[in-house]
Structure 1
């Protein structure tokens, strides 16, 4: 009568399909309702196996690692997954379901040994069941040991009246070793969960409570996973995954692994396209610089870390011959004769690009230029032909996606996306965006996406180094007495004025970094390792072009997967930092400043590693000592990075560095250093 009110099921259904078993004190199942199964013993075995497997899967008994780390079992095998039986033992009814299967093994046992304390609840559940059967018994002692650790720390055998409970096994090797070393009889050992090869299971089937392994006759099981016998054979280790040791079924507390990266010119560090791109878009003067920083048009509140001045590029296109030729080819190839409209994004660069396109297409093609603004669709009155959607630069493609949605009901119009410089943050993002934009009503209606130039680079708009610098300098400026600290007052005030006027100057080009103590700007010397060309001088290279180069390299490393090398991604187990040796190798102050500006705090967390902190301290003490030479030309950028809590050392090293810096003879250096010292130490 319990199930009579279940919706959609009749009494007749339950009389035919419902089977109810009760269990005895020895764990044996006894049929009390329903039709007896043809092969009852096999049916009952599958019933218990299926139930234990469902409990395992529902409660997350299988723990999987992420690509940055994997597990090392107590047996020293390496694997990306491990069974944690303790996760399974949550709900009372489920614990009792597993305990029922142990009942017959507890007879005449005076001691129960569990390989981890997380399964101690199982023997206590068995005791509770026996108590409910009103069976009088002397309660066995329950002890824990650490699976394979018992072989290293102890030579004694388990008492003959004991039962050894193993939480899980993927091979049965622990049973083999216990038997080989004569620690216990085979009948004394029970494994709660097994997941492994069929031959290993067959060797120890009498010792296994639940075989989780998936096969044709048991499709609900877990798929067997690979294990590697040792470090040398581990494919996971070879893919730079960090091994995390497990004792019993608990992670051992570990300090994160510190990976130190020293930049080189190898392709895995510096993509080959960066130098040619820079060479094509060099401005040869700060006035003509296309590559700028800390700016975004349209009076936007945010400012791109990297900004391409497309208006200036088109205005002076004759100076950029390779881009001009490429742009002309793309116009000839992708602006069709049936173009009715040139729909352009609402920025001055896109407007200028439309004007250029109109000047280059055949006179017989007379498209109407339309600016993207509210109600633009009302201006598109033609229902046939092509609409070319024009953008000077795009990063995330949000406006293109907006246009795609709004034009969805204009099925007879062909959409073509035409971009001057496409600057996604990485290839995966780019692929997804382009696939989304290309989709039409079917495959024959795929919409072309055309980019004259493509470069992966930072798309950061918030929290750039110049924003943080502004906050820092305003706080410093508020503490200054103009009469007592005129030199420092004027230095800070002039720098704040530059940052405040970034909208008026279309971003920063030759004032990207703090000036030296003597008022000179940081300049690039000859033989820059990351450029494949050398026809430049201090006078015709802008700071923003150097910054872009370093930023593009860092972005490339940030895009690499955590288990590839090199990568600047971070996890709890792996911390990737830029080696202090980078500042020795790249000793131009402008390169050092670019690294400090475009890198994230995590890359300069030298406080995580004693050796790195010590090396960075020695480097900083050296440039403080030589502040008035080429070695110390970026000193103020280092002090700013410390003040912004971007560059981190251990407390004792940091104190020593800043104490020396605030004793510097130069008033600007000593004044900023004293402010930093008081703020963070």
Structure 2
């Protein structure tokens, strides 16, 4: 049975300004402690430390602290214990402090130094108590992180990677009493006095609040409003009250109670929150002060949601399933699309505007020509599928779509045996311009998820009768996913009649999520960090650190429209035999832009996500996450293919932290990449280091630390962009 709550803290002596290590013990006073038990607890606490602390702090109620001081006065037991702080004839344990803690304040009751002339420490006891609460959060599994490829959907509607179980804060009676006293310590004197009722958002924190009231000597009633179910029903009562919220990741409930329902924020307390900044009321413990890594757990929108109902949740995820890219993932229309756009159809990376854009890859509309195969398809599609009543053509406002509209007009004229069909730009349609239309053909050379087509469809619903036939014809569709394309098709086809409008597309090539926070955006933020944030590395000279960070920032900025260069400064390159090119650019690799390689890899990854064979599908379920197999980086071993694979994957697909086996494999592979970064094998080393630094690629923490430390040790003598990125990765 626990007789005390022990934790370690670090403090700054208020008088000398020296940093000191403090071992703290809190006794709840629920049962009488004998002198033997007291010293036994002290010895257990001291043994649990790897190093001897500078001082020990004993905390208890005023009545109990007097008894503990009397036990401390036992000369023989005290001398034996003090001797345990001696190492190599040096007394490291310099002082003992006894603090009395009641409902009003915590004050120093007694202090004793271990040897004459030892320093007297002036402690910030409030900060030390807060560190005790932080210790409870880390010790008692209060924080649940969603498995790789998953996110939590909270009752408030907030979606993130964190779920806080405040009910797990205390695992023993001394810990429970410690939390109750800290709740009281956070309240102002005007709030503590004469409390009549306490609102709580869940009964799972009843015992904390009950303990706080017992400590105050209050008989206030405790009322639960059951989280977001009934929070809107409560109003500030006329008698003195307090509201205690179990946990929050956004501060939303406290903000709602204060701003919308009129509760006094002095009377709002949240036990655990992600941050204490910008919150209504006080926060007992802020997680961004417990683990700074939690702020870096971002959501990209492609994860599987775990919906939380109540606070009773825990997860033990299966190890992620690894998927190896191969022939089963070759996109059906990729070869035809690459032939159609050819090498000249790509504007570059991060170089275009909507609608001529597929994710970060831009296609140049003037380069999209109507070739023979396209013309054959267009001719057959119009003659076989387009309604005979079509007598107007509307095209999206770009040159390629105008060329397509002109060709469609000629085919319709030939099929009907009369003059060309009138053509309108989407910018010119109105009720007047379409007044004589009996049927409308809407054409576009290139569509993503169909934003412009949706706008045209909505305009047509306003300008012409719903029973007027219409047909939507698309040269090439580049949606984010098959699902997005199906939604577009349904939107354009369906109307108020039992018939459907026509819909045709020659090529449909899902390209993957068009996430605005893509890999390039993340690297831009990393470049800013390299320029602004000072870093220190014990094993690396300061001037080498500075030059390496500057070189890393320059390399990142130079790659804003492409990929990070090889260590010798040349661009990444491709050799013959890329599986997903399927011979399209045979003997013409010098003409192939990086954007074409990236689009091919991105489309292959999306095909893997939508693969119908469960074992080959790169898609998480509610029970299992998936990752790209480390073997993929060996199969696609050209440096530009490795870079494209890193950039086109979702963060969850490169999260190996939940699998010791896969993490070790990836660690060994990366170790060889960094070790041989001056050779062809490691030419993509900067890309891998940047992925680690942004958190896009994650290993088990121990593997990642060992990998980075070893690489830094090898590179520490000379400044380099790789060293700079690895230093940033170590700080991530």
TM-score range, shorter chain: 0.5 to 0.7
TM-score, with length taken from structure 1: 0.53
1:465 counterpart (499, 516, 519): 519
What is residue 540 of structure 1 aligned with on the other side? 591
| Residue aligning to 1:526 | 576
**SS of corresponding position for 1:380:** coil
Aligned twin of 1:594? 644
Contact 1:606 1:649 (C-alpha < 8 Å) held by counterparts = yes
In structure 2, the CA distance between the partners of 1:271 and 1:483, relative to structure 1 (3 Å rule), is closer
2:580 and 2:604 in contact (8 A); partners too: no
- Answering whether residue 479 of structure 2 is matched by residue 424 of structure 1, we say yes
Aligned to 2:493: 438
Does residue 672 of structure 2 align to residue 616 of structure 1?
no
CA distance in 2, matches of 1:430, 1:589: 32
Give 3-state SS (helix, strand or coil) of 1:519's partner: coil
Contact 1:260 1:577 (8 Å CA) reproduced: yes
CA distance in 1, matches of 2:573, 2:665: 26
In 2, Cα distance between the equivalents of 1:448 and 1:299?
Answer: 22
Deviation at 1:427, TM superposition (A): 3.5
Structure 1: gaps spanning 5 or more residues:
1-67, 69-249, 500-507
For the 8 Å contact 2:531–2:550, the answer to whether it is kept is: yes
Aligned equivalents of 1:299, 1:279: Cα separation in 2: 21
Paired residue for 1:496?
A: 557
Correspondences of 1:553-568 after superposition (within 5 Å):
553-560=604-611, 564-568=614-618
Could you tell me whether the CA contact under 8 Å between 1:310 and 1:349 is conserved in 2? Answer: yes
> Rg larger in 1 or in 2?
1
SS in structure 1 opposite 2:614? Answer: coil
- Pick one of 454, 460, 469 that aligns with 1:407: 460
* 1:369 partnered with 2:423: yes
Q: Deviations over 1:612-644 (max 9, x none)?
A: 111111111111111111110111110111011
| Inter-CA distance 482–621: structure 2 relative to 1 (3 Å threshold) | closer
Matching residue within 496, 503, 520 for 1:449: 503
The match for 2:103 is none
Partner residue, 2:238: none
Distance 1:272 1:352 in 2: 26
Could you tell me which residue of structure 1 aligns to residue 345 of structure 2? 289
Query: Compared with structure 1, are the counterparts of its residues 252 and 516 closer, same or farther at alpha carbon in structure 2 (3 Å cutoff)?
Result: closer
Q: For the residues of structure 2 that align with 1:493 and 1:577, how far apart are their CA atoms?
A: 31
Conservation of the 8 A alpha-carbon contact between 1:344 and 1:371 = yes
Q: Residue in 1 aligned with 2:626?
A: 576
Which residue is 1:552 aligned to? 603
TM-score for the superposition, normalised by structure 2: 0.50
Equivalent residues in 2 for 1:278-357, closer than 5 Å: 278-283=338-343, 288-290=344-346, 292-297=348-353, 304-314=359-369, 322-323=373-374, 325-327=376-378, 330=381, 339-347=390-398, 349-354=400-405, 357=408
Alignment deviations for residues 326-365 of structure 1 (CA, whole Å, 9 cap, x no partner): 4455466667776443322244543454455557764844
Q: Tell me, what secondary structure is at the counterpart of 1:592?
A: helix
Say which SS state the counterpart of residue 322 (structure 2) adopts: strand
Q: Report if aligned partners of 1:394, 1:423 keep a CA contact under 8 Å in 2.
A: yes
| Shift in alpha-carbon separation, 1:485–1:258, aligned structure 2, 3 A | closer
Closer, same or farther: CA 575–326 of 1 in aligned 2, 3 Å: same
Report deviation, 1:281: 2.8
Question: For the structure 1 residues 580 and 379, does the alpha-carbon distance in structure 2 shift closer, same or farther, using more than 3 Å as the test?
Answer: same
Contact 1:257 1:575 in 2 (8 A): yes
Partner of 1:639: 689
Inter-partner Cα distance in structure 2 for 1:651 and 1:494: 26
Offset at residue 457 of structure 1 (A): 2.0
CA distance in structure 1 between the partners assigned to 2:547 and 2:319 by the alignment = 47
Give 1:544 deviation, angstroms. 1.5
Q: Does 1:261 align with 2:298?
A: no
CA distance in 2, matches of 1:276, 1:393: 14
CA distance in 1, matches of 2:421, 2:575: 48
Sort the Cα spacing of 1:395 and 1:644 in 2 relative to 1 into closer, same or farther, 3 A: same
SS at match of 2:728: helix
Correspondence 1:606 to 2:656: yes
Q: Is the 8 A contact 2:480 2:514 kept in 1?
A: no
Determine if contact 1:306/1:458 at 8 Å carries over to the other structure. no
Aligned pair count reads 407
Q: Could you tell me how far apart the structure 1 residues matched to 2:319 and 2:544 are?
A: 50
Q: 1:455 to 1:570 in 2, by over 3 A?
A: same
Cα shift at 1:371 = 2.9
Confirm whether residue 394 of structure 1 aligns to residue 447 of structure 2. yes
What RMSD over aligned residues (CA atoms) do the two structures have, in Å? 3.7
Q: Look up the match of 1:382.
A: 435
CA distance in 1, matches of 2:407, 2:527: 42
2:635 matched residue in structure 1: 585
**CA 1:540–1:324: 2 relative to 1, 3 Å:** farther
Deviation at 1:654, TM superposition (A): 1.2
Q: How does 1:87-98 map to 2 (within 5 A)?
A: none
- Provide the secondary structure at the position in 1 that maps to 2:490: helix
Partner of 1:565, secondary structure, is helix
**How far is the alpha carbon of 1:555 from its aligned partner?**
0.7
- Give the Cα–Cα distance (whole angstroms) in 2 for the partners of residues 557 and 482 of structure 1: 46
- 8 Å CA contact 2:386–2:502 kept in 1: the answer is no
- Give 3-state SS (helix, strand or coil) of 1:584's partner: helix
Q: Which residue of 2 aligns with 1:112?
A: none
User: For residues 326 and 541 of structure 1, what CA distance do their matches in structure 2 show?
Assistant: 27
> 2:422 and 2:722 mapped to 1: Cα distance?
58
CA distance in 1, matches of 2:387, 2:620: 47
- Residue number in structure 2 paired with 1:513: 563
Q: Residues 552 and 720 of structure 2 are in contact (CA less than 8 Å); yes or no, is this contact kept in structure 1?
A: no
In 2, Cα distance between the equivalents of 1:379 and 1:597? 48
| Equivalent residue number for residue 129 of structure 2 | none
SS class of match (1:378): coil
Kept in 2, the 8 Å contact 1:426–1:457? The answer is: yes
Whether contact under 8 Å (1:274, 1:549) holds in the other structure is yes
Deviations 1:230-274 (A, max 9, x none): xxxxxxxxxxxxxxxxxxxx9996332321112222x2x324433
- In 2 relative to 1, CA 379–451 (structure 1 residues): closer, same or farther, beyond 3 Å? farther
Question: Shift in Å at residue 433 of structure 1?
Answer: 3.0
Distance 2:378 2:336 in 1: 16
Mind listing any 5+ residue stretches in structure 2 that lack a counterpart?
1-148, 150-311, 535-541
Q: Is the 8 A contact 2:352 2:361 kept in 1?
A: no
